[in-house]
């Protein structure tokens, strides 16, 4: 059982250590990379097909006196993020990493469930989504965001952008093995998407986008730190059998 004498500082230290290690993979990616550079994909033939069409824009999506173009871009970015599931993926991955760090200390294993329940309840996926949407809305216009949404709404797009392990980063797509993710039709779609400037830019910005989501998770946790310590101390006492 987590005791009054050991939980707060050691557990908080492990939590922040877990958050630090979680942020390292994306921190190594630099936002200064040029997204418009020419790329090459390891394939057995030249890409075929035509660029994915931009989905038709609804009539009420145009900027009005009551809705600025920035707001429209922000809404389109949130729709795109909902399709990828990135905000929820970031939250669940962060919680999993933190619990893993806690389990390395046998005397604190019971704190793992407390951390999970607390973060599930207190960390807002909506806030993570909003921070990530701001980043995208500053870099893509509505038409580009809806084109990306059309790409991600395909089976090829879902395979690429709904898992950290399959994101089309530069080092991955240059390996022939990356195409093993797809069936023959999806390979053709991937080759088509990959030629699109908007797809290349989104792929380049993905690492920084995930970093922003993780930073949002960390900032929310820091704001909840005092309540977390109370929960860590009081919950085990409440679960003790009464004499």
What's the pTM? 0.74
Confidence of residue 33 (pLDDT cuts 50, 70, 90): very low
Answer yes or no: is pLDDT of 10 > 70: no
Answer yes or no: is pLDDT of 106 > 70: yes
- Please give the pLDDT value at position 116: 87
Beta bridge partners of 64: 67
Contact 173, 194 (CB under 8 A): yes
51 vs 199 pLDDT, higher one:
199
- Per-residue pLDDT of 148-171, as tens digits, reads 999 999 999 999 988 888 998 878
- Per-residue pLDDT of 69-81, as tens digits, reads 999 999 999 999 9
Q: Count of CB atoms within 10 A of residue 115's CB?
A: 23
């Amino acid at each position: 059982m987590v005791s009054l004498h050991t939980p707060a500082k050691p557990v908080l230290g492990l939590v922040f250590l877990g958050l630090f290690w979680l942020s390292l993979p994306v921190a190594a990616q630099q936002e200064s990379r040029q997204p418009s550079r020419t790329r090459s994909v390891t394939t057995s033939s030249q890409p075929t097909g035509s660029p994915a069409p931009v989905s038709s824009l609804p009539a009420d999506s145009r900027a009005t006196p009551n809705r600025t173009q920035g707001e429209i871009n922000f809404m389109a970015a949130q729709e795109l993020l909902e399709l990828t599931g990135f905000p929820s993926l970031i939250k669940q991955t962060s919680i999993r990493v933190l619990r893993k760090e806690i389990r390395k200390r046998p005397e604190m294993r019971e704190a793992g469930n407390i951390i999970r329940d607390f973060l599930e309840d207190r960390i807002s996926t909506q806030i993570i989504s909003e921070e990530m949407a701001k980043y995208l809305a500053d870099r893509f216009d509505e038409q580009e965001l809806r084109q990306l949404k059309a790409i991600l709404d395909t089976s090829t797009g879902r395979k690429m952008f709904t898992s950290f392990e399959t994101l089309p980063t530069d080092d991955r797509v240059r390996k022939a093995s990356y195409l093993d993710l797809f069936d023959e039709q999806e390979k053709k779609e991937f080759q088509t998407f990959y030629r699109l400037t908007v797809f290349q830019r989104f792929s380049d910005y993905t690492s920084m986008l995930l970093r922003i989501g993780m930073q949002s998770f960390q900032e929310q946790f820091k704001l909840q730190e005092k309540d977390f310590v109370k929960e860590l101390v009081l919950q085990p006492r409440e679960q003790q059998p009464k004499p």
